[in-house]
Structure 1
Amino acid sequence: MTPVDTTAAGDSFAAGYLAARLGGASVHAAALAAHRLASIVIQHPGAIIPKAAMP
């Protein structure tokens, strides 16, 4: 993984965490999902990544 742009890293982490928790995930699983999403987001320039890059 090569970070390209950290814009929206925190926002994507929060969104991933909340989405996972609302979907019934445990705190630990939600944190992992959030980390995964943020790690994908920072590999693309800008705050919005291509839909095809979404996990």
Structure 2
Amino acid sequence: MLNYQENWIEGIKRGASPLFLTFTASYELVGMFMEKAASASAAGEALSFKIDAYW
């Protein structure tokens, strides 16, 4: 999270709009969350498939 704040401050120093930077950062966070959710659901599907195959 510290890295995100540093990037945000650096971006403002370079002249980027704070709103744009906030949007970009939240978009990245959503992307990370979606990846985690996708891998979790994939693991869940694999687990349920193994259980189905076992029975």
Normalising by structure 2, report the TM-score: 0.41
**Higher RCO structure, 1 or 2 (CA under 8 Å, sep 6+):** 1
